Chains A and B, each alone.
With several copies, the nearest count.
Chain A
């Protein structure tokens, strides 16, 4: 089931070998730095430095941004990023820290910015020297993104920005923000414009970054307040009033449905070999049940618990097999039908799995991460709470069901 089964072009075949060799020689060794579970959860500068160094080296070697033109700092290759990604993943390297930059900002800037700005911004984005964040959601604009109210008022050849963005991961480390702003109150969609904004240099001078605390007690997200921040008009992407269309480029790439492949490197975190996939997965419920007691017997011997664990394992296997099937021409009708289910399904399976885990733990699920006696180090009650981040963020489950009903089943729009 490896990507190598696909037929490489000569360029890809050569590049694959180059990547393999380079990674073998240059992949970061094990580190004492405790790596986070995802790039969005980078908490310390120690973590950031380690991961930035890795991205820079991979970029300098030509493994990041390889399909972008040379003029903007890319590698000028044809459809080679997926080759590099596959090799990173096979080698289980750590991930790149500039995840929003690579996945969302780069394609958006590439398709919508002035040539001069592309050349100025993209090389340091690819290298990871500049971390990027995203300013879309606001307190009053969650599911309904087009209702954003953070306002950009024209002032000579500059814009004056005032407002409030929330859920901006990595903002405390970010140099740049891609941001959706309102430039007219008269039109909902056509009143939006899209900018890139230097935020690190403006901290304390019109930009305030504050951590948002999640219900778990963790930080990681931020809110960003803009008070009369002046931004040059050259930071605007595409025309005034075309912000919604630009945002669609960003969102398409966020969902993996855009034209450009996002550079992705592995996902090694500080764990033992082979544990990655299942550590929070349904299969790990079996071990949990074997070490948990319910009503005087081992939870793994309770048929009701067994039944429920099997349900989650089956859903998880079904999810995995559906991803596999989504690439088999003969077994799909609508090519978007499975990919558009991805987010909904993954987030709800994770939620139900975590919820079931707390029931398996029983009374011990009351114990949280700081308790030395908590089963699985308190991971499950935390995962349960964090699962709501996934069913809410980036399109709630309710919005996902609308999208599926409308785009795949072609039912009339609900809104």
Chain B
């Protein structure tokens, strides 16, 4: 299969992206965002999730959470390219919501197939938010890794690094079941579930350890490894899209500052020590953005290459996000180091994004296994 020249990003996708950009800009501009998520600067503050549930409700009504749900389950079945456009805008807004985990669940459930999985997808179509609970205490979701097991038909154990757990209605849990690995769909309010919020750096998300103590849940796949492998390229691509959007905000905001801030009788953007690293950030952003849409387009029309292209996207975006965030703080100078400057929100989201679902070196190692072969 080959990709369409335009990444499958045509008029419809452009309209969706533009309306998302407008929605986020109108409803939660960065000053209001700061008021919502950064009102309390104390690292020991209460672990309440800072977000606007009413905006999330509007997003659901706009149909954004059913974009990635197949039509067979009542979703819109839109392309990964379209979804990437939405995620890029959410990243640009550093928007606090369960959008990314819900989309991730859509891809995982779509990969499961079967009536139970489709019923779960229908819950998402119906407005439910969900988050994957795949990761073990060591940060791994690969192969047989999970700290949740099925005992007497019920889930027991702990899932780690569950994103936006305080904002979702359901969890999609990877659990060991004898020799097999299964995925389970469960309401977060189910008896036996406890959500232990993590105290994290990122202010635009919440994260939790979720413990399961004899929890009844619905099996949606008896082959978790296959479903995860199928969905992973989309999960990597969407978080990369988020990083691209966030980095573009960092770039434009820093450029704007460099055009207005004056030192030594020059706008600081006059100095090549500022100008050239900003150019480098732009070049890295453009590389990552191109790789994101290439990966998205591969998911849509060249699935045999989706994994390799998604590795490239996340590897590129991870390194790019760290660099762009670093320069955004540095070139804002003293003010950039303060809580009142909005840059820290993005710095923290980007450093979180970087380590979500594998960092740059991790993805390069996996890519090398594909392109070179596993090392002797």
Decide if A100 is an interface residue (CB 8 Å cutoff).
Answer: no
For residue B371, CB closer than 8 A to chain A, the reply is yes
B187 within 8 A of A: no
Would you call B7 an interface residue if the criterion is a C-beta within 8 Å of the partner chain's C-beta atoms? yes
The docked-state distance in angstroms from the alpha carbon of A322 to that of B290 is 5
Report which of B42, B275, B283, B322 forms a contact with A414, defined as CB distance below 8 A: B275
Q: In the docked arrangement, what's the CA distance between A216 and B355, Å?
A: 19
Chain A contact surface mostly: helix
CB closest residue in chain A, given B43: A217
B286 touches A215 (CB 8 A): no
CA separation between A331 and B7, bound complex, in Å?
9
Q: Judge whether B199 is part of the interface by a CB distance below 8 angstroms.
A: yes
B residues 256-309 near A (Cβ < 8 Å) are 258-259, 262-267, 269-276, 278-280, 282-283, 286-291, 293-294, 309
Complex CA–CA separation, A361 to B356 (angstroms):
12
> How far, in Å, is A375 (CB) from chain B's closest CB?
11
Contact B334 A304 (CB under 8 A): no
Q: Name the distance in Å between A107's Cβ and chain B's nearest Cβ.
A: 25
Stretch at the interface among A150-158, A169-177, A197-205, A289-297: A289-297
| Contact for A367 among B199, B265, B312, B341, CB less than 8 A | B199
Are A325 and B289 interface neighbours, CB within 8 A? Answer: yes
CB within 8 Å of B: which A364-415 residues: 364-371, 373-374, 378, 381, 384-385, 388-389, 391-393, 396-398, 401-402, 404-406, 408-415
Q: Given A215-B338, A391-B330, A413-B270, A368–B365 Cβ distance below 8 Å?
A: no
The CA-CA distance from A415 to B268 in the complex, in Å, is: 11
Please measure, in the bound complex, the distance between the C-alpha atom of A317 and the C-alpha atom of B85, giving whole angstroms.
20
A45 an interface residue at 8 Å Cβ cutoff? no
Q: Are B5 and A324 in contact, CB atoms less than 8 angstroms apart? A: yes
B253 on interface, CB distance cutoff 8 Å = no
Task: Indicate with 1 or 0, residue by residue over B163-201, a CB within 8 angstroms of chain A CB atoms.
Answer: 000000000000000000000000000000000001111
Q: Which one of A75-83, A124-132, A336-344 contacts B?
A: A336-344
Q: B32 near A: Cβ within 8 Å? A: no
In the complex, what residues of A have CB within 8 A of residue B355's CB? 358-359, 361-363, 365-366
Q: Which residues of A contact B259 (CB under 8 A)?
A: 410-412
Q: Interface centre among B209, B266, B267, B326, by most A CB within 10 Å?
A: B326
For A318, the closest partner residue in chain B by CB is B287
Q: How far is the CA of A313 from the CA of B371 in the complex (A)?
A: 10
Contacts of B269 in A (CB 8 A): 405, 409, 411-412
**Do B338 and A411 touch (CB < 8 A)?**
no
**A328 contacts chain B at the CB level, 8 A cutoff:** yes
Does B145 count as interface, using CB distance less than 8 angstroms?
Answer: yes
User: Number of contacting residues on A, CB 8 A?
Assistant: 102
- Asked if A1 and B278 make an inter-chain contact with CB atoms under 8 angstroms apart, the answer reads no
Q: Could you tell me if B371 and A411 are in contact, using CB atoms closer than 8 angstroms?
A: no
Instruction: Give the number of chain B interface residues (Cβ < 8 Å).
Output: 101
Residue contact B290 to A321, C-beta cutoff 8 Å: yes
Least CB distance, B368 to chain A, in whole angstroms = 4
CB distance from A44 to the nearest CB of B (A): 15
Interface membership of chain B positions 242-261, coded 1 if the CB is closer than 8 angstroms to chain A and 0 otherwise: 00000000000001001100
Contacts of B368 in A (CB 8 A): 303, 306-307, 309-310
Is the beta-carbon distance between B329 and A317 smaller than 8 angstroms?
Answer: no
Judge if B27 is at the interface, Cβ distance under 8 Å.
Answer: no
CA distance A69 to B280 in the complex (A): 42
Chain A residues contacting B273 (CB-CB under 8 Å) are: 398, 401-402, 414
Assess whether A368 is in contact with B201, with CB atoms less than 8 Å apart. Answer: yes
Interchain CB contact (< 8 A) of A393 among B43, B258, B271, B334: B334
Contact call B375/A300, Cβ cutoff below 8 A:
yes
Distance to closest chain B CB from A179 (angstroms): 17
Identify B258's interface contact among A142, A166, A363, A411, CB under 8 A. A411
Which residues of B have CB within 8 Å of A410?
A: 255, 259
Q: Give the residue of B135, B334, B375 whose beta carbon is less than 8 angstroms from that of A363.
A: B135
CB distance from B157 to the nearest CB of A (A): 16
Any B CB within 8 A of the CB of A271: no
Q: Are the CB atoms of B359 and A362 closer together than 8 Å?
A: yes
A363 x B161 contact (CB < 8 A): yes
Question: In chain B, what residue has the closest Cβ to A361?
Answer: B355
- Supposing A214-B337, A324-B290 touch, asked if A409 and B255 sit within 8 A by C-beta, the answer is yes
Select B287's contact among A297, A309, A319, beta carbons within 8 Å. Answer: A319
The reply on B340 being an interface residue by CB < 8 A is yes
Give residues 310-358 of A contacting B (CB, 8 Å). Answer: 310-311, 313-315, 317-319, 321-322, 324-325, 327-331, 337-338, 341, 344-345, 351, 355, 358
Q: Do A411 and B337 touch (CB < 8 A)?
A: no
CA gap between A322 and B359 in the complex, in Å: 22
Inter-subunit contact B361/A307 (CB<8 Å): yes
A351 to B347 alpha-carbon distance, docked (Å): 14
Bound-state CA distance A369–B45 (Å) is 11
Assuming the contacts A142-B263, A366-B207, asked whether A137 and B11 have C-beta atoms less than 8 A apart, the reply is: no
Q: Does B227 count as interface, using CB distance less than 8 angstroms?
A: no
A240 interfacial by beta-carbon distance below 8 Å:
no
Question: When A215-B337, A366-B201, A412-B267 are in contact, do A318 and B288 touch as well, CB less than 8 Å?
Answer: yes
Contact of B2 among A1, A139, A303 (CB under 8 A): A1
Q: Chain B, 1-45, contact with A by CB distance < 8 Å: what is the 0/1 string?
A: 011011101110110010000000000000000000000011111
Q: Are B330 and A396 in contact (CB under 8 A)?
A: yes
A409 and B278 contact, CB distance less than 8 A:
yes
- Whether the pair B291, A381 counts as a contact (CB closer than 8 A) is no
| Alpha-carbon gap, A384 to B255, bound state (A) | 23
Binding site for A on B (CB under 8 A): 2-3, 5-7, 9-11, 13-14, 17, 41-45, 85, 135, 138-140, 142-143, 145, 160-161, 198-202, 207, 209, 255, 258-259, 262-267, 269-276, 278-280, 282-283, 286-291, 293-294, 309, 312, 315-316, 322, 326, 329-330, 333-341, 343-344, 347, 351-352, 354-356, 358-359, 361-362, 364-365, 367-368, 371-373, 375-376
The 4 closest A-B pairs by CB, nearest first: A318-B287, A411-B269, A330-B14, A363-B139
30 inter-chain pairs at a CB distance below 8 angstroms, sorted by A residue, are: A139-B335, A144-B264, A147-B263, A286-B372, A294-B362, A297-B376, A300-B372, A303-B365, A305-B361, A306-B364, A306-B365, A307-B361, A314-B291, A318-B288, A318-B291, A324-B5, A330-B85, A337-B282, A359-B354, A366-B202, A370-B199, A374-B199, A385-B347, A388-B330, A391-B330, A398-B272, A402-B273, A409-B255, A410-B255, A412-B259
List residues of chain A with CB under 8 Å of any chain B CB: 1, 5, 137, 139-144, 147, 166-167, 212-218, 283, 286, 289-290, 293-298, 300-307, 309-311, 313-315, 317-319, 321-322, 324-325, 327-331, 337-338, 341, 344-345, 351, 355, 358-359, 361-371, 373-374, 378, 381, 384-385, 388-389, 391-393, 396-398, 401-402, 404-406, 408-415
